Amino acid sequence: MIIDQEIENKEIAKQYKELLRISYQSLSDTDKKMIRLAFDTAVEAHSSQRRKSGEAYIFHPISVAKIVAHQIGLDATSICAALLHDVVEDTPVTLQDIERLMGNSIAKIVHGLTKISSLKKDKDISLQAENFRKMLLTLNDDVRVIIIKIADRLHNMQTMDSMPEYKQVKIASETLYIYAPLAHRIGLYTIKTELEDLSLKYTEPQRYLSIKEKIDESIEAQNDYISSFSKFISQELKKERLKYNIKGRSKSIYSIHKKMLAQNVSIDQIYDKFAIRIVYDCQRAKEKFIAWKIYSIITDHFIPNPTRLRDWISAPKSNGYEALHITVMGPMNKWVEVQIRSSRMHEIAEKGYAAHFKYKQGEQKDIGIESWLNRLQEVLENNSGNAVDFVEDFKLNLYAKEIFVFTPKGDLKSLPQGATALDFAFAIHSEIGKKTRGVRVNDRLVPLSKELKSGDQIEVITSESLKPSKNWLDFVITSRARSIIKSSLNEEKKERAEEGKEILRRKLKQLKITSNDKTIQSMLLFFKFNSSQDLFYRVGIGTLDNKQLKEFAGAYNNSVLNFFKKRIRSKNPEDIITNNEITEKFDKLVFGKEKEAMAHSFSNCCNPIPGDAVFGFITVNGGIKVHNKDCPNSLALQSNYAYRILPAKWVDSSSEEYSAVLRLSGIDTRGLVNEVTRMISNNSNININKINFDTNDQFFTGVIHVSVQNINILNKLVQNLARVNGIDKIVRE
């Protein structure tokens, strides 16, 4: 490929001038000097690099900067960071060089972008999810990092034709999975739409082309329809002396594709392939009045569909979107969606985050993006759980449709569709959520799991003595609520462990054993716990009882523990311990860093047993095979197939909560129900999920659904309930 350097240099200079010309923000002389310095640095750094298409690499950062400057509308700092976003990763230029030349703000954004680019590219979904989580964590530093990354992804999607097909599909799938939802949530509708359409182009090219051809064929008919619609209302709008513009907007290829799938119809059976948009100019204070005035004019001429009215002016979407959407029976008896918005609202819809800050003034309430970013930051800071769960929760809240509900004082709150009463409590404040005792919806007490609907008025009842329980995770859908509950449960585990440490010290003292590091290590070995915190926690919640501690003391005092160690380490098959206690306490295998339970089978080459040091190996057809670490095949598997190895360990499942149902019957006595509920509520290791009692001719039946951490706690509960006067029979289902 022969390159005319002079022509290429002229084109680079032309692109640079266009970058300055199309900037959404007004650029000062200082801004232009800073952008010029970033441009010169990027040109020099990338001077020897070319893209797969053969063009000079510098065209990519310039294109990303143009998207940032014009389509997204960010400031000069962001434009500079976009120009420099690849230099640290791909050239000898260091982050220190960027900081020295451009200052700390730009260096910080470039550093965030470099961290994202250096994430592992792995096909494994859990690693991919972990990479996404790390990328999202950059939102804690500066939201502009993610916005520039979205611009970078958009330009990559626009120029993917020279890539091999398998890479096109992988990148397009990633884009649909996380980048398009992120663009949607930040309010970048135009970019979100283009990302979705381009993704469909590479994941389902035939479907993409067939829909595109149909849309192109109907452009003329669409323009005729808009013209016939406009003539009915233009005269009335002119009477109001409004400055307005009426134009049609084709629904995106991807949205039509989704409708075809959802309705299981062909494209010819999709009738609302485009919408009509009326954008008007007026003073900020009159926007709402004028919007409803236009609504009145339209509905004077066309019959509205009352179920399709969407008022996002009175209650803007949480990403800042404002508009009035109505669906009317238009000319030729066709339903048509009409979007009514001011030029300011239109700008926010097009530019999202940047326009939000342009129009935000003084103490004016924020439109929603800042609140979302603040909530998101709290979620990111609190989250320490499974990466796949985190990303799925995050995605759910990115694309979820919204409902609007009211506080007792009449304040409006937005939540994702499907949110529950408990989600609302956490949306108000994390401390209110953690202390939620009950919720009233429209002045009626409802379960915490009650799904909310738009228009509900909600009051949260709190109790200072309450703490979140594990079953609360089943009652919420928002990532904010889930992360706070998980964080609180971890804190409670630490508190129980601290209590258990002191209880253990006292119990060991009674057994004439000193509690020190050596003793604790011996106990970990004897009981096969992962850590001292696990040991203290089990003592704290009562699953490690006096009988088991006495067994340890006997072994410890009689030096049996040394023999126990020797037998564990021995490779002689005759020495393998067959003590039932090991099997009972270590009855569950978990895999990976997240310690997940997975389907598995045991390999025949080494036949591992509970208590052995093991690992999982992902086979081609046989799922996960568990091998002993001393297996003769271990070295070959670990060396040649490291990417298919899963860390594995035996755990004691008694620390998990599980549900149980108790059926009670007997003679009804005064105060019996109160006595039963008091007995259960006083035990912090038991959660009541559901309770119901019926009485007939002094004979009662009751059903109690509880969550407990182990069978010992449930058995003790049954024993205590059996002593309650009137209870004749207790049956566990």
Instruction: Output b/e per residue, 438-470; b: 16+ Cβ within 10 A.
Output: bbebeeeebebbbbbeeebebbbebeeeeebbb
* Mutual angle of helices 143-158 and 165-174, in 10-degree steps: 150
Distance CA 661, CA 47 (A): 71
Amino acid at 88: V
- Name the pairing type of β-strands 600-602 and 624-628: parallel
What's the token pair of residue 188? 């970048």
DSSP assignment of 469-503, as one string? Answer: -GGGGGG---HHHHHHHHHHHHHHHHHHHHHHHHH
* Count of positions (residues) in the chain: 733
Q: What span, in angstroms and rounded, lies between the C-alpha atoms of 197 and 255?
A: 9
Angle subtended by helix axes 532-541 and 479-510, to nearest 10: 80
Q: Determine contact, residues 630/646, Cβ cutoff 8 Å.
A: no
Got the DSSP string for 136-172? HHGGGT-HHHHHHHHHHHHHHHHT-TTS-HHHHHHHH
Q: Evaluate whether 379 touches 483 at the Cβ level (below 8 Å).
A: yes
258 Cα distance to chain centroid: 22
C-alpha span between 455 and 468 (Å, rounded):
27
C-alpha span between 152 and 61 (Å, rounded)? 8
Give which of 234, 348, 239, 371 is closest to 284, Cα–Cα: 348
224 is catalytic: no
Q: Provide the β-strand partners of residue 694.
A: 701
Choose the catalytic residue: 11, 89, 174, 492: 89
Q: From CA 683, how far away is CA 717, in angstroms rounded?
A: 9
What residues contact residue 102 under an 8 Å CB cut-off, 6+ apart? 34, 37, 38, 41, 80, 84
Quick one: 6 exposed, middle or buried, by C-beta within 10 A (0-12, 13-18, 19+)? exposed
DSSP symbol at 67: I
Tokens encoding 585? 């306490």
SS3 content of the chain, % helix, strand, coil (to 5): 55, 15, 30
Q: Residue 257 in contact with residue 197, Cβ under 8 Å?
A: no
Residue 457's φ and ψ, nearest 5 degrees, are: -110, 130
Q: Which of 8, 18, 55, 90 is catalytic?
A: 90
Q: How far is CA 12 from CA 18, 148, 154, 504, 603, in A?
A: 10, 21, 20, 73, 61
Distance CA 140, CA 150 (A): 16
117, 172, 121: which is closest to 145 by C-alpha? 117
Contact yes or no for 29/35 (Cβ under 8 A):
no
Across the beta sheet with 444-446, the strand order is 444-446, 436-441, 458-462
Known catalytic residue at 90: yes
DSSP 365: P
Task: Determine phi and psi for 657, rounding to 5 degrees.
Answer: -85, 145
Cα–chain center distance at 356:
24
Rg of the chain on CA atoms, in Å? 32
Contact 596, 648 (CB under 8 A): no
Q: Say how far apart CA 721 and CA 672 lie, in whole Å.
A: 10
As annotated, the active-site residues are 89-90
